[in-house]
Amino acid sequence: MDANSSSQSGTSAQICRKCKSKVVSALKCISCDNVYHLSCAKGVSYVKILDSKSLVCCDKVKMPPVVCEDSEFFEAMEQMSGPEKKVDIAVFNYIIKQKDEIIKELRDRVKTQSEMIDILIKSSNNLGGSTDCSLSSMDAFSSKIMNKNVSGVEARKVVNKSEPEIRNTIIYPNTNSCNEVDLNNSSDNGKNPSEKEVTGDTLKRRPKVSKLIIGSADIASSSGSSDLSSSDHDFVAVTRKKSSHIHITRVNPNVDVNKITDYIKFKLKSHEEVLKNKRLPDFKLIKLDSKFPELYSSFKLTIDFVYQNDILAASFWPKGVAVRKFFQSKSIHLQHNT
């Protein structure tokens, strides 16, 4: 009696292998004697029904043939073994030969990995800020290109550690220094300089700046020359005086421009520039449109820059008057000029 059948009081009852219930009219496997209900057998994928009383359910236990990775080695051992199935010395020769092949392959792999590690170390050192951006290193790089007779243009990014900005420099062969391409003056191949070329590097466009040349000849030292007339000695440089703009606010609304003008003249009488020139400076006082004209008045004072520090001093103005440099552009109402 097999494991799927049980005995009770001299009688045997068959048990369905799937549902574990008693079977009256069973289908029996022709190989392993397992029994199934007809409905259970139809629900099992690996069961094949042959007729009304038999089926096959043993295909599920059949294992695929084992494929050994070392089959070639085992076949060689079997061929080299003696008539008594004893391994001779040829097997050891085969093993030694295979060992040498494995060692050779591993050495090649180790060499390749070592080269990759060296490349990664060099790359990390370059990214770590060790790139030399000095002029001497760039000259050496340029001379290296000339020695190799490189054709075309070699682009190289020069990274300055102290500055976050990256400057793109173009190095031409057969030159002694690094030249930056000026897109404003570039007309190579008939291209429009304003058209940006799609490349991996972006060139820095410099603004057009006209050079200002300042004369340095001393006309006074040439006064003895007969070639210069008396009018030529008056040919000297004339500069514009620098002015300072002062904003005066929180002034009593009853105070007008004339009163403040008289006050400024009175305070500037003791200034060293006034005492030196023996005359008061020319200045311009303008009344501004205040936001709250019923509360206070505001004025704009334009005067020579020499008097700025004295006018911005707290001791120059009455108590409560606010004074600062004038930066705002306001709608102004002109009342008085001096």
Query: To 10 degrees, what angle do helices 71-80 and 89-125 make?
Result: 150
pLDDT in tens, 217-271: 776 655 555 555 555 556 667 777 788 899 999 999 999 999 999 999 999 888 8
179: which DSSP letter?
Answer: B
Q: Enter the tokens of residue 9.
A: 């009081």
User: Is residue 173 included in any domain, yes or no?
Assistant: yes
The string over 295-313, giving b where at least 16 C-beta atoms fall within 10 Å of a residue's C-beta and e elsewhere, is ebbbbbbebeeebbebbee
- pTM of this structure: 0.32
**Range of 24's domain?**
5-61
**What's residue 234's pLDDT?**
60
* CA dist., res. 265 & res. 248, Å (int): 16
Residue 25 sits in a domain whose CATH number is 3.30.40
Please state, in angstroms and as integers, the Cα–Cα distance from residue 127 to each residue in 140, 146, 159, 274, 323, following that order: 20, 26, 10, 64, 54
Average pLDDT, the chain: 70
**What's residue 14's pLDDT?**
83
User: Is residue 231 included in any domain, yes or no?
Assistant: no
Q: How many residues does the chain have?
A: 338
pLDDT in tens, 2-61: 444 443 433 457 888 888 888 888 888 887 878 888 888 888 878 888 888 888 887 544
User: Is residue 201 included in any domain, yes or no?
Assistant: no
Mean pLDDT (whole number) for 126-146: 53
Identity of the highest mean pLDDT range in 66-75, 151-160, 311-320, 322-331: 311-320
Same domain, 147 and 183: yes
Residue 292 sits in a domain whose CATH number is 3.30.70
Q: Are 285 and 338 in contact (CB under 8 A)?
A: yes
Could you tell me which of 71, 119, 25, 45 has the C-alpha nearest to residue 36?
Answer: 25
Q: What percentage of the chain has pLDDT greater than the value 70? A: 54
Confidence band, pLDDT 50/70/90 cuts, at residue 79: low
Please state, in angstroms and as integers, the Cα–Cα distance from residue 188 to each residue in 2, 182, 192, 270, following that order: 97, 11, 9, 67
Same domain, 260 and 321: yes
Q: How many domains does the chain have?
A: 4
Same domain, 113 and 151: no
User: Is residue 316 included in any domain, yes or no?
Assistant: yes
